[in-house]
Chains A and B, each alone.
Chain A
């Protein structure tokens, strides 16, 4: 199982109401349904993704995280999941505020631009880093709002979330979960999974 999915599954109480934003072909939704008996809804932008989900019997709305979170009523979910998507939204602040309105808790995973390899690439080559995780060039990347773990932690606090856990992930290895952002977490984690709760 993907390490970020594994980290997410551990955070989910049985029978939770969950919204998966950017649910793709519904792989995580299926896992959550099977393993956690969750009541799930998804939001996905691509027609292929929505069709794959619908064929699996998953309840998925075609829409855009930037525009369509208004479809979901206040407090309608126990948990909102946004995996590997925040950096591709037009307005991460608004998206996070909407998630705050919709759900009690949130799990947000993102690539960490503060990872040492990325810093090194930028420092040594003087060019925007292209890595396995971020394979696009600056002009054609969907990731228009890249940030570091510390940057995201600031935004989470600004949108009235408390950070319950930060789980660093490096490739197939999960690091030790922390509750505070620190210099070394920010330097050593390739990706991070944030567990947020409304203040």
Chain B
């Protein structure tokens, strides 16, 4: 498997939804496999809030397998021997793409001077990358969670640049509950005295505690009640009895603390603020006169919408709204509601029913496209 790690900096600025101009724009990305002569075998994988471009193989920072290593790779479901797979770090991210840690002309980190970004801005930055790679039309755009939002935005903004789309465990807009959880995370970061009003890089501090709590709160939303109960129940952590104190007596506490702590080693606090904000602002219908059907109206490809029964973060009802709009728009849409008790994170795990569907969909589409 050939793997390249690259960054591209563009000459022309990216005009953001807010009206601000971002320049220079840098996009860090990874690719696997080879682009065929017809340039027809490119798959863009879009990562989630805390994901990054290291989809498969060993992650350079965590030294662990990439976030979709079980699905993407040579001979795997998204076969890098057959497809040219691209994943770019999202705009606002902290793995090389332009974000709040970028330096301003005065040499200081942008921090809160970085403009507010949207999902649509992320997608337009990806489109610039795709164009620079010489690809006119992507075979597929695939992503879960926030990655799924980007998939939906792709077929709305660039309907003729996508042959087929797979939005997974996602929603066409952020609900009040989604915004609420994000606000808790942001407030945790901002309440950390080391956040320094966003200026922690210049002041050589880091709001580890705040970012860690944000991650802990968010992580709960990625799992189902049943999954938590099955994995942890009320089991105690390395002890026989309660300590009658505030140590991590329960395994679930210890697990969440570990999740929080390991997150701060690989993620930036301001990036977390900017990206969660972009998700909160996401309401695809709003930019199409309030009609989700209109958003999908120009897309002539096929779509496969996947949701998971126990996902209360982006529940199946959100996917049904997407399917209903696609159906009304005449999209060649399939949908699957996978029965599982593993919650939102199921899209990252080995879920055979989901994987059979994804594989079947891609193969039938590849046949239709002649790859």
Contact = CB atoms under 8 A, between A and B. Distances in A.
Given A57-B364, A61-B323, A51 B336 contact: yes
Interface residues on B, range: 20 to 34
30 contacts: A41-B333, A50-B335, A50-B357, A51-B353, A51-B357, A52-B360, A54-B334, A54-B336, A54-B360, A54-B361, A54-B364, A55-B359, A55-B360, A55-B361, A56-B364, A57-B302, A57-B367, A58-B334, A59-B332, A60-B334, A60-B335, A61-B323, A61-B333, A61-B334, A61-B335, A62-B336, A62-B337, A63-B335, A68-B320, A76-B327
Question: Nearest 10 pairs between A and B by C-beta?
Answer: A55-B360, A57-B364, A73-B328, A59-B332, A61-B335, A54-B360, A71-B324, A54-B334, A54-B361, A51-B356
A51 B323 contact: no
A61 B327 contact: yes
A5 interface: no
B275 interface: no
A53 interface: yes
A73 B327 contact: yes
B175 interface: no
Interface string B316-343: 0000100110011000111111110000
Nearest to A41: B327
Interface in B284-309: 302, 304
B4 to A, nearest CB: 32
A62 B309 CA distance: 12
A116 interface: no
Given A50-B336, A59-B302, A71 B361 contact: no
A55 B327 contact: no
Interface of A: 41, 47, 50-63, 68, 70-73, 76
Contact of B334 (A50, A71, A72): A50
Contact of B304 (A41, A54, A71): A54
A198 to B, nearest CB: 20
Interface centre among A56, A63, A71 (most CB of B within 10 A): A71
Nearest to A17: B330
Interface of B: 302, 304, 320, 323-324, 327-328, 332-339, 353, 356-357, 359-361, 363-365, 367-368
Contacts of B363: 55
Contact of A71 (B323, B353, B360): B323
Given A47-B338, A57-B302, A60-B335, 6 more contacts: A47-B353, A50-B357, A51-B360, A55-B364, A59-B333, A71-B323
Contacts of A68: 320
A68 B327 CA distance: 12
Nearest to B359: A55
B60 to A, nearest CB: 35
A197 B332 CA distance: 26
Contacts of B361: 54-55
Most buried by B among A63, A70, A72, A73: A73
Nearest to A70: B324
Contacts of A41: 327, 333
B108 to A, nearest CB: 51
A60 to B, nearest CB: 5
Nearest to A19: B327
Contacts of B353: 47, 51
A47 B340 CA distance: 12
Contacts of B359: 55
A182 to B, nearest CB: 39
A4 B360 CA distance: 28
A40 to B, nearest CB: 9
A57 B336 CA distance: 14
A57 B365 contact: yes
A72 B330 CA distance: 10
A70 B328 CA distance: 11
A60 B367 CA distance: 18
Contacts of B339: 47
Nearest to A57: B364
A60 B335 CA distance: 6
A57 B332 CA distance: 9
A53 B304 CA distance: 12
A191 to B, nearest CB: 29
A106 B170 CA distance: 34
Nearest to A72: B327
Contacts of A61: 323, 327, 333-335
Contact of A59 (B320, B334, B336, B360): B334
